[in-house]
């Protein structure tokens, strides 16, 4: 069973054969690694020659070429296999490392791939942060640049607004406002009147005017009394006569 993620890149490939998992140990792990369906295994290696000639793995030290060795084992969960180029019995060049975890084989990344991955991750994070910061930037020709954050709007909505103290108006302002209202009332007389608060406004034409009280009848005697009082008030005070002694 082989699962391919990126066919062109062995770092994205994992391979496993579930039938081998119960019997994996130091002696069988290289046979497990040399399965034909394993994409990490090179069939032109010296291990394949030794296997075909039915020789022991000790003969690998006497050969030249590519070979696979068991570098580290922690039964039954972890095995590390190294691919190397042998040039002499004492000189080898490491080519790649493979680790087997719970029967699944992966290729260990090289230093260049690790650095490249870390750099791409850092650049992606910086780019995302820069784009998010630019989304909060605002500009206006009269104000210039400023920052406008979303949480600032929420804080302003939840923050109780302080009530401004109302300053008392001056006498001049009150008189001026009354004069303006009176002028507007004369130019635009009201068409509806609300007699009491909460009631429906009524047109001015429909309001019934109260009849003026009829003048009371005045008796003739009272008329004479009123006339005498008026004539007396019209005349001046009586002149004083000089007394003769």
Instruction: Answer yes or no: do 100 and 135 share one domain.
Output: no
In a domain, 63, yes or no: yes
The pLDDT, as a whole number, for residue 215 is 54
Distances, alpha carbon 123 to alpha carbons 6, 116, 131, 239, in Å = 22, 11, 12, 123
Residue range 59-103, pLDDT digits in tens: 888 899 999 999 999 988 999 999 999 999 889 999 999 999 999
In a domain, 19, yes or no: yes
As a whole number of angstroms, the distance between CA 144 and CA 136 comes to: 14
Instruction: Answer yes or no: do 14 and 93 share one domain.
Output: yes
**Number of domains present in the structure of the chain:** 2
Instruction: Answer yes or no: do 18 and 101 share one domain.
Output: yes
Q: Which of 108, 139, 162 is the last residue of a domain?
A: 108
Residue range 206-225, pLDDT digits in tens: 766 555 555 555 555 555 65
In a domain, 51, yes or no: yes
At residue 223's C-alpha, the angle toward residues 217 and 227, to 5°, is: 150
Residue range 18-44, pLDDT digits in tens: 999 998 999 899 999 999 899 999 999
In a domain, 243, yes or no: no
Instruction: Answer yes or no: do 118 and 99 share one domain.
Output: no
In a domain, 182, yes or no: no
Instruction: Answer yes or no: do 87 and 122 share one domain.
Output: no
Most confident of 120-129, 133-142, 179-188, 217-226: 120-129
As a whole number of angstroms, the distance between CA 157 and CA 161 comes to: 9
Instruction: Answer yes or no: do 38 and 92 share one domain.
Output: yes
Instruction: Answer yes or no: do 88 and 43 share one domain.
Output: yes
In a domain, 86, yes or no: yes
The pLDDT, as a whole number, for residue 210 is 56
Residue range 228-237, pLDDT digits in tens: 555 555 555 5
- Residue 63: is it exposed, middle or buried by C-beta count within 10 angstroms (0-12/13-18/19+)? middle
Instruction: Answer yes or no: do 70 and 40 share one domain.
Output: yes
Instruction: Answer yes or no: do 130 and 74 share one domain.
Output: no
In a domain, 227, yes or no: no
Instruction: Answer yes or no: do 35 and 124 share one domain.
Output: no
- Residue 67: is it exposed, middle or buried by C-beta count within 10 angstroms (0-12/13-18/19+)? buried
* CATH number, position 47: 3.10.450.580
Q: Which of 153, 175, 206 is the last residue of a domain?
A: 153
In a domain, 24, yes or no: yes
Chain centroid offset of residue 176 CA: 51
Q: Is the dihedral of CA 21, 26, 28, 34 positive or negative?
A: positive
Q: Is the pTM of this model over 0.85?
A: no
Residue range 138-174, pLDDT digits in tens: 888 888 888 887 776 666 666 666 666 677 778 878 8
The answer to whether residues 82 and 71 touch, using CB atoms and an 8 Å cutoff, is: yes
Instruction: Answer yes or no: do 71 and 134 share one domain.
Output: no
Range of the domain at 53: 10-108
Instruction: Answer yes or no: do 99 and 16 share one domain.
Output: yes
Residues 6+ apart with CB under 8 A from 113: 11
């Amino acid at each position: 069973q082989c699962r391919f993620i990126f066919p062109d890149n062995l770092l994205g490939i994992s391979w496993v054969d579930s039938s081998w998992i119960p019997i994996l140990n130091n002696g069988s792990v290289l046979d497990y690694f040399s399965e034909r369906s394993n994409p990490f295994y090179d069939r032109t290696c010296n291990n394949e020659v030794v296997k075909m000639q039915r020789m022991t793995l000790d003969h690998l030290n006497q050969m030249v070429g590519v070979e696979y060795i068991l570098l580290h084992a922690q039964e039954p969960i972890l095995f590390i296999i190294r691919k190397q180029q042998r040039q002499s019995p004492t000189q080898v060049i490491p080519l790649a490392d493979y680790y087997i975890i719970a029967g699944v084989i992966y290729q260990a990344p090289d230093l260049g791939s690790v650095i490249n991955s870390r750099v791409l991750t850092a650049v992606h994070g910086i780019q995302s942060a820069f784009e998010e910061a630019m989304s909060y930037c605002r500009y206006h020709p009269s104000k210039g640049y400023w920052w406008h954050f979303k949480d600032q709007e929420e804080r302003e909505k939840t923050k109780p607004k302080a009530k401004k103290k109302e300053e008392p108006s001056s006498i001049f302002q009150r008189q001026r406002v009354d004069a303006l209202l009176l002028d507007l009332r004369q130019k635009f007389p009201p068409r509806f009147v609300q007699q009491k608060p909460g009631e429906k406004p009524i047109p001015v034409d429909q309001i019934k005017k109260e009849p003026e009280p009829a003048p009371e009848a005045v008796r003739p005697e009272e008329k004479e009394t009123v006339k005498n009082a008026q004539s007396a008030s019209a005349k001046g005070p009586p002149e004083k006569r000089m007394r003769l002694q």
